[in-house]
Amino acid sequence: MLLSRSGKITENRQLTPVYRRQKRRVIAIYIVSLCTMMALFGWLLKGQYHQEVHAAESRIIARANVVSEWVKGVFGQSGQGLFSLAELLDVYQITTLDQNHLEAETSRALQQVFKNLAQYVPLIDEVSILDDEGRVWLGSGDEQHVGDELGNSVFFRTFVQGEQAEKMTPLLRSMHSERFYLYHGQRLVNDNNNLVGVIMSRIMPQVLVDTLRQMRVYDGETIALIDENLRVIARHPAPDGGITIGSQVNAPSTQQWLESGDISQTLTAISPIDGHKRLLHMQRISDYPVFVVVGVDLRTLMAGWYQRLLVLSLVAILMTLLGAWGVRHYLNRLTLAYQLHERIKERELARAEAQARGARMDALVSSIQDLIFVFDGDGRFSYIHAVAPEQLLINSQDALGKHFAHVLPSALAAAFTAVFERVQQFRRVERFEYPLIINAQRHHFHATVSPLMSSDGQFEGVLSVNRDITEAKRAEVELKIAAAAFQAHLGIMVTDAQGNILKTNDTFKRITGYSDEEVIGKNPRMFSSGHHSSLFYRRLWKRVTATGSWEGEIWNQRKNGELFPEWLTISAVYDAEGDLTNYVATMSDISERKAAEQEIHQLAFYDPLTGFANRRLFMDRMEVALKELNRHQRCGALLVIDIDRFNHINDTLGHLAGDQLLQRVAQRFGQMLRDTDTLARLGSDEFAVLIEGIDGSPRQTRRLAEHIAQKLLAALDEPITFSEEHVMVTASVGITILSDSQLSTEDYLQQVDMALAQAKTSGRRVIRFFDPVMQATLLARVKLEADLRQALESQQWRLHYQPQVGRTGHITGVEALLRWQHPERGMVSPGEFIPLLESTGLINEVGEWVIEDACRQLACWATMPHLRELTISVNISPLQFRDSDFLSRLQQVFIRTKAPLERLKLEVTESLFVEARDDARDKMLSLKAQGVRFSLDDFGTGYSSLAYLAQLPLDQLKIDQSFVHQVLDSSANAAIVESTIALAKSLNLDVIAEGVETDAQQAWLLAHGCRAFQGYLFGRPMPAEDIEAALLAQHS
């Protein structure tokens, strides 16, 4: 969906200042940081620069002072020499400088002194005396110079015009050569202080140059002597190419300094001699027209500083570049974030616009129920609109961005590909219809596919508006069958907006019995049955007004006055302007369906045999009764009645007679109960009675319940007659009182079942109330059963062995006895768990474990010389023996254990032969053939046919301990034991007596022919290790 331009501009105006502020802030931080760094670096460099310059200034000033003092000393030597010469003239009493008055000897002596002075003072090249007119009177040089006229020289005029006693000239060119010299003169006066002449020395600058060269200078340092006319006297070191003494120096700054009259000045200037920029210190030498210039080359001076400048500059550049890169990176990130934010905002605006547009479109689409798809130029879904997700093949979010060929079925994709290509090629609207299976339902659609063009006429995709014309297609079919449908099995009635009947169909007339003439123009109130209140009709028409329709069950009246139920649908019909025009009512006669529903209800909730409630209805009423009990704090009672020996009646008289008996019993029970009580047949011969709403204590409820139970049992006191048969029946009753609101229906049924079970075990015509002890016993039994199922898996079973001895008292065999080592209760009595093993069917699994463990022990003992003759007797339950897989499982045990089967003795009881005796005998013969022996246990306690007993492959009879215990005290028991011994001898069987506990009992048995014994007299049941120890002691 495209965003409006105004939306974009508004959004940019809101976001751009924020972005710009952030950008300016980052740039400002960068610039401030950069400027701070630059300022810091500049401050550091400036400080170091000033330190370097200050140190250099101090150094060159000190150097200038030294040179100045040296020059003054040198010039002082010249002045001292001149002063000495002047004194010498006084010694020679020369008062006038006239050649005519000078003696030759004096002249020679003076000349020699002059020469000596020039010799001993290297600075002085020549010494001369000028007269008062400036003529050379006497000199140390060539005599040809005597008489030279120097009266017009600036040097001589200074003495004539001034009062200065001593003076030195700047460099002056010699009259006799091109060389420059310094001239140092001293005024000669008479006693009247009038000028007589001037004694003058000519100073050679080269001596100064040579002396300066001997000075050690620093790298880049220069020392120069310059006269006041800015001519170079001396310079060290000499510049490249050398320098001529007397060279003119063109230095305006120096000229200005000289003109200022300042003694010294430090400045930075470009040297006019070598063109290097130097730090210079110029210092006048007092009383002399010479000044000292000491300089240092700034490049040399600041080399370290420039190196630090370079390093810091590189660091600054690097940090600037890194900072610029970081800022650029951050700004790029910021720009990307801004662009992303802009895109998100644009998408939000697009989504908002799409939602707004979608809302507008939804209002339109909701009326036309169209699907809208937008595809880009490549055929991918870019927009999907559907009134409901169920209209689409897949979720719209999953389809966006996918090509239609990957979403649509292949046939439809091929058709749409052709349409898409035509629209793209010819830029025209295409229309087509197609079927589509959506949610397992076939739909028909009409698609209008239009091209989408950009502003410059480029193809951007297509817009497909798809209308579900399934209803229209269906309407075409329905139009064809409308006339037939109007005459179908549903009654149809059309009224105007005021409810006046306009038209009916044949089914309507058949249902109501009216003709068109009798109902046209009438109001449907004529069919009212009076079965519904006016409130019912007001709600009906209120619903029609609000929703446009109503549907439900209603009772109307036929023309003949018969009331009947019908399923009525009323629909309001509106024109294009939304004004009500008609009502259409369709109806169907549901009389037969109601009858069928009633029959189904009867079958679902009532016992078809007795007509009273069945278990389902009884459970529902129990639930309701318990809720009422909780709400009103009342009591109730639940009785369950079971017909005694009903199966016997079924077996003897037949099931038809049994059904008739149940019907008579149910009728008598129903006559004994109140209308508010519920009687139900729960199944077979079991009835239940629910007594509700008893106002009284549980004790009073108990008395009432017992009274009702007595009445129910009394109802059976009279014989029941059917099919000329008179049958006397009794029943057992279990009762529980409904008083505990915390118990559920299932809890109460469980209680009453326990009470009934207790009643049936107590005999016939017994009433028992539920006692919590019953539940505790049952729970204990359930817990014990659960523990039994875990015992084998947890290896809680143990085998103990009780010795069997012969007449000598030596152990000849043992009986394997099962013991249960319970993890919580310890050893559990066999009398407690053996019956439960048989009742739960676990006896087969546990019995097999007993046999396998005994056989494994037998195989172990067979390897020990003193135990190999020992036999093991194992008790076999009749249930275990009768199992169809008993022999096959036993064979697997024998194979696994490899036990010596001739030492294995299986003990069976007489109850094994009560049923399926031949099967038991066959199994015994099969095992006998493998060497297994058999002992008949508990002989005399049951009933056995002696004839059949003789046919069994028995090896031994075991006299039950109940007879042995009383053999000394009861003649009857003694006779039984004596007869058993005799019977065994007659059948050629061994006999063993169990339960022998005294020596007297053993002696009696020995006296009557019994040769094998078992009992506490010889040892209690013990683990196999103890048996082995006892046999080892016996063998020793």
Mean pLDDT of 631-637: 81
User: What is the enclosing helix (H) or strand (E) of 30?
Assistant: helix 5-91
Task: Express each pLDDT in 124-158 by its tens digit.
Answer: 777 778 777 777 777 666 555 665 666 667 667 77
Mean pLDDT of 593-601: 68
Over pLDDT 70: what percentage of the chain? 87
The answer to whether residues 171 and 205 touch, using CB atoms and an 8 Å cutoff, is yes
DSSP summary character for residue 910 = G
Mean pLDDT of 685-711: 87
Which domains are delineated in the chain? 123-203 (3.30.450.20), 207-301 (3.30.450.20), 369-473 (3.30.450.20), 487-576 (3.30.450.20), 606-770 (3.30.70.270), 790-1035 (3.20.20.450)
Q: What is the DSSP string of 208-268?
A: HHHHHHTS---TTEEEEEEETTSBEEEEESPPTT---TT-B---HHHHHHHHHT-SEEEEE
Mean pLDDT of 871-885: 90
364 or 520: whose pLDDT is higher? 520
What one-letter code names the amino acid at 976?
A: I
Does pLDDT of 228 surpass 90? no
Task: Express each pLDDT in 945-997 by its tens digit.
Answer: 566 677 789 999 999 898 999 999 988 889 889 988 998 898 899 999 999 99
Distance in angstroms (rounded) separating the CA atoms of residues 639 and 618 = 12
SS3 assignment, position 1008: coil
What one-letter code names the amino acid at 526?
A: M
SS3 assignment, position 633: coil
Does pLDDT of 6 surpass 60? no
User: What spatial distance separates the first Cα and last Cα of the chain, rounded to whole Å?
Assistant: 108
Does pLDDT of 864 surpass 80? yes
Q: What is the DSSP string of 647-669?
A: HHHHHHH-HHHHHHHHHHHHHHH
Q: What is the DSSP string of 75-116?
A: HHHHHHHHHHHHHHHHHTT--S--GGG--HHHHHHHHHHHHH
Average pLDDT value for the chain: 82
pLDDT at res. 4 = 39
* ∠ CA 225-227-228, rounded to 5°: 140
Predicted confidence band of residue 5 (pLDDT cuts 50, 70, 90)? very low
Does pLDDT of 10 surpass 60? no
Predicted confidence band of residue 13 (pLDDT cuts 50, 70, 90)? very low
203, exposed or middle or buried, with CB in 10 Å at 0-12, 13-18, 19+? Answer: buried
pLDDT at res. 741 = 65
* Sequence-ordered alpha helix ranges (H) in 917-998: 917-928, 946-951, 961-965, 971-986
The answer to whether residues 347 and 2 touch, using CB atoms and an 8 Å cutoff, is no
- The CA dihedral of 19, 24, 27, 29, to the nearest 10 degrees, is -110
The answer to whether residues 658 and 681 touch, using CB atoms and an 8 Å cutoff, is no
pLDDT at res. 676 = 85
> Which of 61, 54, 62, 63 minimizes the C-alpha distance to 305?
54
Mean pLDDT of 707-720: 90
Mean pLDDT of 531-553: 90
1035 or 160: whose pLDDT is higher? 1035
Does pLDDT of 853 surpass 90? yes
Least confident of 166-170, 517-521, 881-885: 166-170
Predicted confidence band of residue 120 (pLDDT cuts 50, 70, 90)? low
353-356: Cβ within 8 A, 24+ apart: 353/1, 353/3, 353/4, 353/7, 354/1, 354/383
Does pLDDT of 241 surpass 70? no
pLDDT at res. 488 = 57
Task: Express each pLDDT in 180-223 by its tens digit.
Answer: 888 888 777 777 777 777 888 788 888 788 888 878 877 778 88
Does pLDDT of 937 surpass 70? yes
Task: Express each pLDDT in 754-804 by its tens digit.
Answer: 888 888 888 888 999 987 776 666 667 777 778 888 887 888 889 999 999
pLDDT at res. 778 = 64
Mean pLDDT of 235-263: 78
Question: Considering the entire predicted model, what is its pTM?
Answer: 0.37
Does pLDDT of 112 surpass 60? yes
CB atoms within 10 A of CB 175: 10
